[in-house]
Chain A
Amino acid sequence: MSLDAVDPLLAAPKRLAALGVLANSSDTEFAFLRDHLDLSDSDLSKQMSAMVEADYATVRKTGRGRHRRTWFRITKAGRHALTDHVAALNALVDLAPSAPDLVGET
């Protein structure tokens, strides 16, 4: 397992967390992600646009006016990307030398 297996789109922890939320629910609303991931409207909008563009998530709008809501759903590609990315991160964590080893090498 190398750094190549790490998905650059999911390298941002907040984006990874957002996809983690989507992977655990059938539908997730914009406000839920914003409130629970501590993101601003504009930041979340930017992050989610990137994921929709990469076909990791789909977007659906419901309601009108004040009741308008934006719902996201993970795609099959998004689920695969998340699984692969997490496996790559775990492999890197396992490969990483412990702190005493690093000290010994210098």
Chain B
Amino acid sequence: MALDELRRAEIIVHTRYPDPGPAYPIGMGLFAGLYPAAFALPGAAMIAAFVVIGAVATVLIRIYVNRRGAVPDARKAPSRLRREMVIVVVAYLAITATAMILWATTSWLITSLAAAGATYVATEIYARRFARAARMVESEAGIEPLVAA
């Protein structure tokens, strides 16, 4: 009984979160697009752009963490969820590598648009897959589905 309750608690930290909706892939895509664009700016403007991008990203992450109410430890996530996280990290690394190649061979605008588009798609797929994996983890653990996180 106590162990069942503990197991449920350990799982819900990772599976219950407020759905950020389209803001998540759009925000990630925008971030990925602005990053190479900032590199194209001259000297001080580039530094200022990175500071602004970093500050906005920090504020948005803080707002989301406050809404979620927990900062789960990814290392302790159920393996099904961890696998999704590893896949998206690999996808982001592949996008970064591709963006670097594009940066060296084409214009900053093409790099920026390609990075934004690819990141948007990768994040959208990740969000859907993660949500599905979270539902499966809960169902396998016999946790009743939640109407609204």
Is the pairing of A and B real? yes
0/1 interface trace, chain A 25-47, chain B, CB 8 Å (1 if under): 11111011001110000000000
From A13, A32, A69, A93, give the contact of B5 (CB < 8 A).
A13
Does A24 contact B13, Cβ atoms closer than 8 Å? yes
**Residue of A at shortest CB range from B4?**
A13
What DSSP secondary structure best describes chain A's contact surface?
helix
**In which size bucket is the chain B interface?**
20 to 34
* B3 adjacent to chain A (CB < 8 Å): yes
* A86 adjacent to chain B (CB < 8 Å): yes
Does B71 contact A20, Cβ atoms closer than 8 Å? no
Which residues of chain B have C-beta atoms less than 8 A from A18's C-beta? 9
Does B6 contact A17, Cβ atoms closer than 8 Å? yes
Does B9 contact A28, Cβ atoms closer than 8 Å? no
Does B3 contact A89, Cβ atoms closer than 8 Å? yes
* A16 adjacent to chain B (CB < 8 Å): yes
Which positions 3-31 of chain A face chain B at CB distance < 8 Å? Answer: 11, 13-14, 16-18, 20-21, 23-29, 31
Beyond the given A20-B6, A32-B69, please list 11 additional residue pairs across the A-B interface where CB-CB is below 8 A: A13-B6, A14-B5, A18-B9, A20-B10, A21-B13, A27-B70, A31-B69, A32-B70, A36-B9, A36-B16, A86-B6
